[in-house]
Structure 1
Amino acid sequence: MSSALERLPGGPYDVVWASPGRVNLIGEHTDYNDGFVLPFALPHRTVVGASRLERPQWTVTSEQTGETVTFGPHERVEGWASYVAGIVWVLREAGHEVPGAALSIASDVPFGAGLSSSAALECAVMGCLLDLGGHDVAMALRPRLAQRAENEYVGAPTGIMDQSASTLCRAGHALFLDCRSLATEQVPFDLAAQGLAILVVDSKAPHAHVSGEYAARRRSCEQAAKTLDVAALRDVDVAGLPGALARLDDEVMRKRVRHVVTENQRVLDTVEALRGGDARDIGPIMTASHESMRDDYEITVPEVDTVVRAALQAGAYGSRMTGGGFGGCVLSLVDAERCDAVERAVRGAFAEAGFAPPDAFVVTPADGTTKIS
């Protein structure tokens, strides 16, 4: 368990839940197009401790911000606490009695780095509130509830991937998720056995999901699907891509569609490669994904492009941005013994470019949301 548990303010608690951040190995911006994604959970955790109150009120204290926010059942909440209030709201909307509670939060998931800190918070809070209310809601049903809270209460137009990864991932595996049917497969992803590692570099460039750019990409995809007379871009495959592009008049829309369709195929190719046993084979697919995000979806920034270039030059098998874009983190598949060398190369490239120093850490696939006590 991460050190967040030791930093949890207050206590003792009636119940404690922990939920991880996530990275997406491949499949960026395919989730809200009903496509395929392949995330895995991080060792980094958001931990929530909760105690029941006998009044219909929720008090939330954050170790990170030092703030305490209190709200009632009909009060509108903004800022970081809106993710907590959103879970209260969505559970009540779903017909569950949600008891008042005092909640405390501590987290090791970097905020604003594209590692899904919001979903980690939502899923841990949901575990606590369902427990306090005595509700038995299957894990497979929880991601949809958390996504609805983020979409309709918080106002972030995210897909289903983040909440699914935070809830359903297993250690040593990546989660192959069909975002239309919600079917899942746990794909073995044991890098250590092959002498490999995933190096995550946080570029420190600003990153925010609730943004006009993110929403604009989603609208463009929805408009393209309507023009192409399909339910979602998931219904266009690589073989049908040239014909689909020929039906679109807008060049920007063509680029967006090309990214989503080819990215969807890259997820399938990555899963097939991992089933084949040699994880090194996914390196070129990761790099192609980044190039598509840079050139067609246009969601990268100079900092993340610099990480990718430096990592590849230092010997990474593949490298790509993960997350919604416009900042955040980069994943690089490297030989485990080369992690330090690749990190030094990235730091040198940042210094040369005049960027603020990045953070870097090695990750292994971890378990999803768990009850601690």
Structure 2
Amino acid sequence: MSADNTDHSARGSAPWGQSPQSPPAERAEKAFTELHGHAPEGVWSAPGRVNLIGEHTDYNNGYVLPFALPHRTAVAAQRREDGLLTVASLGDDGQFQQAEPVRVADLRPGSPRGWAAYPAGVAWVLAAEGVPVTGADLVISGTVPTGAGLSSSHALECATALALLGLAGIDPDQPGGPGRPRIARWVQRCENEFVGAPTGLLDQTASLCCVRGHVLFLDVRSGESEQVPFDAEAAGLEVLVIDTRAKHALVESAYGDRRRGCEQAARLLGLPSLRELEPAGLAGALDRLPEPLRPLVRHVVTENQRVLSTVDKLRSGRLDEIGGELTASHASLRDDYQVSCLELDVAVEAALAAGALGARMVGGGFGGSAIALVRAGQRAEVERAVTAAYARHELTAPRLFVAVPSPGAGRD
């Protein structure tokens, strides 16, 4: 999970719910050719993600249940032999934004900053892990909505990781390759150590490992995963994403505060992580903790149980019964973890009042997006209700689209 709701517009994200006239990979390839005068060696892309349920559990070694969005970020790449890394991003207006070229050997955490830190940080981590990064020209184009809490930064990092590995002749899925779970940890290291964001493993694992038509049930502690079928269309349902278009200043500091609070609680309880705390022992554990830490612990333990309950229902084809878990998750995030905000609460409450089967905020909180599980025939009604509720509260109109579980990262 990422705390990042920042608008990284330099990454070339398309307007909400829309795509450029051609797919991101095609746009990136054409842009590379225009900028460098020849075609790239290859193009790799990675998706954003929606987390169906399991929020703020990944950095507590818990359970998560994300799926990949159809929106992708593509990286067209060409190997260099002089150790230089160049990065350019194609905007929706067709204009390039180019970062200052930098030598891979000179990369250090905190430099460069801004949007270029994400691909540069990936190069830094891969080089540190022994991957022969001899330099590269990268050109980026994408449709992952930025600033919406849907992991645009991780889509960029995962696409960059596969591109640099591909240029080095390394296929992550072949025998002897690093494997996608290991690459996800490399991307996490990029976020934690180079960019300086204390993220868990949810976002990068989803971008790299999700498959079409499924949600990814991931046990972060063990690394074990299961692709669980999720065919909303067959059930007459849709997952509606509601971008609140809100970002509050507390997001990054509050995210770190809550993670540190969870770690402190685990230490006080003598546990490696809050994952080890079973529901049966929750009440007794809360009695042993200072009051400020109790709600954090209660959320993590109950959220893990909600993930397990959701997975159980999906395995038995009861997709239309998971709404209660989604709504309970939002209540816990709002009341115990205290990471919601007016815009998220208005979206969830309006969707539920209009007939949604369940709804909740997704991502780090304090803005970003919410999701609502709706019957296909009621989606327009729910959209109208949410938009009207925003108008009544004098909030900026939300942006909405339907999310469908899509393929993970790969070469285009």
Q: TM bucket by the smaller chain?
A: over 0.9
Q: Give the letter for the 1:23 counterpart.
A: V
The whole-number CA distance in structure 1 between the counterparts of 2:249 and 2:266 is 25
- Which runs of structure 2 are paired with 1:210-225 in the superposition (5 Å)? 211-225=252-266
Q: Secondary structure at the match of 2:74?
A: strand
Which shifted more, 284-293 or 70-79?
70-79
1:204 lines up with 2:231 in the alignment: no
Matches within 5 A, 1:1-373: 3-8=23-28, 9-11=31-33, 12-64=39-91, 66-69=96-99, 70-73=101-104, 74-75=106-107, 76-136=111-171, 137-206=178-247, 211-249=252-290, 251-372=291-412
* SS of match in other structure, 1:62: strand
Deviation digits for residues 45-76 of structure 1 (CA, Å, limit 9, x no counterpart): 00110011221111111113832112112142
Deviation at residue 3 of structure 1 after TM alignment = 3.0
Structure 1, residues 31-57: CA drift from partner, whole Å, max 9, x if none? 000000000000000011001122111
CA drift of 1:6 comes to 3.9
The gaps in structure 2 that reach 5 residues or longer are 1-18, 34-38, 172-177
- Give the AA of the match of 1:71: V
Contact 1:112 1:208 in 2 (8 A): no
Kept in 1: contact 2:25–2:44 (CA 8 A): no
Q: Is the 8 A contact 2:250 2:366 kept in 1?
A: no
Judged with a 3 Å threshold, the aligned counterparts in structure 2 of structure 1 residues 27 and 207 are, in CA distance, closer, same or farther, namely farther
CA contact (8 A) 2:251 2:364 kept: no
What's the offset of the Cα at 1:5?
2.8
What amino acid maps onto 1:340 in structure 2? A
Q: CA deviation at 1:210?
A: 7.3
Aligned-residue RMSD, C-alpha = 1.5
Q: Which secondary structure does the structure 2 equivalent of 1:298 belong to?
A: coil
Alpha-carbon distance between aligned partners in 1 of 2:27 and 2:343, rounded to the nearest angstrom: 32
Q: Please state whether the residue corresponding to 1:205 is helix, strand or coil.
A: strand
Tell me how far apart the structure 1 counterparts of residues 199 and 327 of structure 2 sit (CA, whole Å). Answer: 24
**Residue aligned with 2:123, SS:** helix
Quick one: which amino acid aligns to residue 316 of structure 2?
A: G
TM-score of the superposed pair, with normalisation by structure 2: 0.88
CA offset at residue 140 of structure 1? 3.0
State the secondary structure of the residue aligned to 2:400: strand
CA deviations on 1:192-221 (whole Å, 9 max, x unpaired) are: 111000000100001689711110000000
TM-score by length of 1: 0.97
Identity of aligned residues (%): 53
Would the alpha carbon gap of residues 345 and 325 (structure 1) be closer, same or farther in structure 2, given more than 3 Å must change? same
Is there any run of 5+ residues in structure 1 with no aligned partner, and where? Answer: none
Which residue identity does 1:274 align to in structure 2?
A: L
State the Cα distance separating 1:276 from its structure 2 match.
Answer: 1.7
The AA in structure 1 aligned to 2:84 is Q
